[in-house]
Chains A and B, each alone.
Chain A
Amino acid sequence: MRLILRNLGFYLLAFWASITLNFLLPRFMPGDPVSRMFAQQAGGMQPEQIAQLRKLFGLDDRPLWEQYVSYVKSVFTGDLGISISRFPTPVTEVIGSQIGWTLLLGGTALVIAAVVGNLLGIVAAWRRGGVLDSAFPPLLIFVGSFPYFWLAMGALYLFGVTLGWFPLRHAYDAGLTPGVNAEFLANAGTHLVLPALTVVAVTVGSWMLGMRNTMIATAAEDYITMAEAKGLSPSRIMFRYAARNALLPSVTNFGMGLGFVVGGALLTEVVFAYPGIGFQLLAAVQGLDYPLMQGIFLTITAAVLLANFLVDIIYVRLDPRVRVR
């Protein structure tokens, strides 16, 4: 319990740091983003938009600490301001309409990569020196050397453009309206395959290597020898005895991966023009939509911290050694 509270304190501190960063960035930025923005969108702005911007950039003649207090207060009441590029939609609404796609894409990829990677790692460690164990790691290092977005573009070119197996962009066909019916779900599914598979391809290796290494350490434990001496079947020892215990570090990785889902999907979403918040973040940057940019950054940070905290709680349930300490 103390551990959980201490970690909670740490995550709150980290969240506070990112709020403060968000507060300070527009106020102490060299190069004056306001004039950049006004230069780009001169004339096309409504008075409300300009007022919104003045507030954001701290141009409303209040002392800095007062602005800071009101900023923190508005963040915690869920008021992230109003989007400029999609005026007058509130930032929270823009994020809310898109975070689902990010979670779908990232969640699918994460679960597949974790399951497949862990299974491969278990088998590789169990058959040490076999094909899976000796041929895979160097291959994975080589694949891991390529920039992710480049591999994704390659996959898009090969499977999307040349072979035409998968759609090229977006999360569903333009003509469809989102809804729970077979046609829409099937369509969204085919749009999901290529982006999710590219993420799986580059992340599965680290899952596998991590699992392999802990499995090797676990397989040397006395209780494994004991189980063998009892004459239990190899598959039972492998899964129920060794893998079960070697899975603990993977739980931590899963939490980090969950955070990565929201933050790291940015490149995937950009390459495949997938309408998640990563794609929206880049669009906000290009449209100089500072409130939206900051809102998305805060959302992503919050998601990462929340995921880590949840994993901490699960970890305490799973590993009794942590509870004793």
Chain B
Amino acid sequence: MTAVDIAGKTPAATPPAAPTAQGPGRRRGLARQLLGSKKALSGLCLLAVFALLALLAPALAPGDPSLINSTGSQAPSGAHWLGTTTKGQDVLALTLWGARSSMFVGFTVGLAATGIAILVGLASAYFGRLVDDALTLFTNVFLLLPGLPLLVILAAFLPPGTSTVVLVLVITGWAGSARVLRAQARSIRGKDFVAAAVVTGERPLRIMFREILPNMASVVMTTLLGCVVFGITSQAALEFLGLGDSSVVSWGTNLYWASNDGALMTGTWWVFVPSGLCIALVAFALALVNYAVDEITNPRLRSVKRRPVKRRG
């Protein structure tokens, strides 16, 4: 079970996990190594828990989560495990339902941004010359434009809604990954087996996706995880600023309402802690998996870690 499989269980991953398509043998190897690493395992378990909570939200907290069903600003108690908001909504229900939108947007943005980055990176590396120059210039311009203000401007002009948030995050999020993937694809493009494939007359698309892409699976994986983290945190930031759709329940809108209703000023910390903590835990879990992938595929990181222990021991 790889992280992508877990993503498949969340509502997010309706698009096939094409970005990490790779040879079956290698995949099993990476997956087994991932499961053998403590970091990756704990990260994957954490992600699985959140995916389950998101999926089971309708069963765990039936009914509309934003329904006002009790007096406001109650501290956590038996009836409301995480207390109630200033308006009188159940914080636990809001947090559970929030996981759905946040995970969905996070993984959709991650997959879409990585997809664009793969296309740009591969095309740039394979065709080289003019195509490469043009695409690199394009990528660099996007990298240089200040991200958050661009997000705000785009979100302000487009009609509010979840699809706008996704679109805006994809537009601002792909460039960094494209640069990384292009560098990796370029080094593989120079290898002999690619030259052999060109000489045997394979079609460009086949070379890009069958020869080059499988050999950079781990880099694709790390950029994908990075993009998902970007998606989740930026969605939260956008919605916190009130630029999302404030009628959708997500961790970002929960925080927006918490701040709007003055939860902090009245000292009802339980309204604003759960959603932020969930974002942090998901991001941390993804970072853990990312670290493990790095360690598995880059032996230098591993040996550096062990060497001082041996010397001292």
Residue of B nearest to A148 (CB): B237
A33-B157, A161-B264 known; A263-B141 Cβ under 8 A: no
Tier of interface size on chain B: 35 or more
Contact A145 B280 (CB under 8 A): yes
CA distance A300 to B153 in the complex (A): 12
Contact A13 B153 (CB under 8 A): no
Chain B residues closer than 8 Å to A278, beta-carbon distance:
149
Q: Quick one: which of A11, A25, A300 contacts B146, CB cutoff 8 A?
A: A300
Say how far B170's CB is from chain A's closest CB, in angstroms. 16
CA distance A156 to B276 in the complex (A): 15
B: which residues have CB within 8 A of A?
137, 140-141, 144-150, 152-159, 233, 236-237, 240-243, 255, 259, 264-265, 267, 269, 272, 276, 279-281, 283-284, 287, 291, 308, 312
A33-B157, A150-B276 known; A156-B264 Cβ under 8 A: yes
Chain B residues closer than 8 Å to A301, beta-carbon distance:
145-146, 149
A residues 238-262 in Cβ contact with B at 8 Å:
259-260, 262
A: which residues have CB within 8 A of B?
10-11, 13-14, 17-18, 25-26, 29-31, 33, 128-129, 141-142, 144-150, 153-154, 156-157, 161-162, 168, 259-260, 262-264, 266-267, 270, 278, 281-282, 285-286, 293-294, 296-297, 300-301, 304-305, 308
Please classify the interface of chain A as helix (H, G, I), strand (E, B), loop, or mixed, using the class held by over half of its residues: helix
Q: Quick one: which of B141, B149, B159 contacts A296, CB cutoff 8 A?
A: B149
Q: A145-B280, A285-B243, A301-B149 are in contact. List 17 more A-B contacts (CB 8 A).
A: A17-B141, A26-B157, A30-B159, A145-B281, A146-B276, A150-B280, A157-B269, A263-B148, A264-B146, A266-B149, A266-B152, A285-B152, A285-B155, A285-B156, A300-B146, A300-B149, A305-B144
Contact B157 A297 (CB under 8 A): no
Q: Report 18 cross-chain contacts, Cβ distance below 8 Å, ordered by A residue.
A: A13-B141, A146-B279, A147-B240, A149-B255, A153-B272, A161-B265, A161-B267, A264-B146, A266-B148, A266-B152, A270-B241, A278-B149, A285-B156, A297-B149, A297-B150, A297-B153, A301-B149, A305-B144
Contact B267 A147 (CB under 8 A): no
Say how far A162's CB is from chain B's closest CB, in angstroms. 8
Chain B residues closer than 8 Å to A33, beta-carbon distance:
157
Chain A residues closer than 8 Å to B283, beta-carbon distance:
145-146
Chain A residues closer than 8 Å to B236, beta-carbon distance:
147, 149-150
Q: Quick one: which of B157, B240, B280 contacts A149, CB cutoff 8 A?
A: B240
Say how far B109's CB is from chain A's closest CB, in angstroms. 15
Contact B284 A147 (CB under 8 A): no
Contact A25 B237 (CB under 8 A): no
Say how far A135's CB is from chain B's closest CB, in angstroms. 14
Contact B146 A14 (CB under 8 A): no
Contact A129 B308 (CB under 8 A): yes
Say how far B104's CB is from chain A's closest CB, in angstroms. 17
Contact A264 B148 (CB under 8 A): yes
Say how far A148's CB is from chain B's closest CB, in angstroms. 8
Q: How many A-B residue pairs have CB under 8 A?
A: 122
Contact B146 A145 (CB under 8 A): no
Contact A282 B152 (CB under 8 A): yes
Say how far A58's CB is from chain B's closest CB, in angstroms. 14
Chain A residues closer than 8 Å to B269, beta-carbon distance:
157
7 A-B pairs with the lowest CB-CB distances in the bound complex, closest first: A263-B146, A150-B276, A31-B159, A145-B283, A145-B284, A146-B280, A285-B156
CA distance A26 to B279 in the complex (A): 33
A25-B153, A141-B287, A282-B241 known; A147-B272 Cβ under 8 A: no
A267-B237, A285-B152 known; A150-B279 Cβ under 8 A: yes
Contact B152 A308 (CB under 8 A): no
A10-B140, A30-B159, A157-B264 known; A147-B148 Cβ under 8 A: no
Chain B residues closer than 8 Å to A267, beta-carbon distance:
148, 237, 240-241
Q: Quick one: which of B144, B241, B264, B267 contacts A153, CB cutoff 8 A?
A: B264
Residue of B nearest to A267 (CB): B237
Contact B264 A147 (CB under 8 A): no
CA distance A33 to B159 in the complex (A): 9
Say how far A189's CB is from chain B's closest CB, in angstroms. 23
Chain B residues closer than 8 Å to A264, beta-carbon distance:
146, 148
Say how far B265's CB is from chain A's closest CB, in angstroms. 6
CA distance A24 to B38 in the complex (A): 50
Chain A residues closer than 8 Å to B284, beta-carbon distance:
141-142, 145
CA distance A111 to B294 in the complex (A): 31
Say how far B231's CB is from chain A's closest CB, in angstroms. 12
CA distance A209 to B15 in the complex (A): 36
Chain A residues closer than 8 Å to B291, beta-carbon distance:
141
Task: Determine which residue in B144, B265, B269, B287 has the highest number of CB atoms from chain A within 10 A of its CB, and name it.
Answer: B144
Contact B153 A294 (CB under 8 A): yes
Residue of A nearest to B259 (CB): A153
Contact A29 B146 (CB under 8 A): no
A141-B284, A147-B280, A150-B255 known; A128-B147 Cβ under 8 A: no
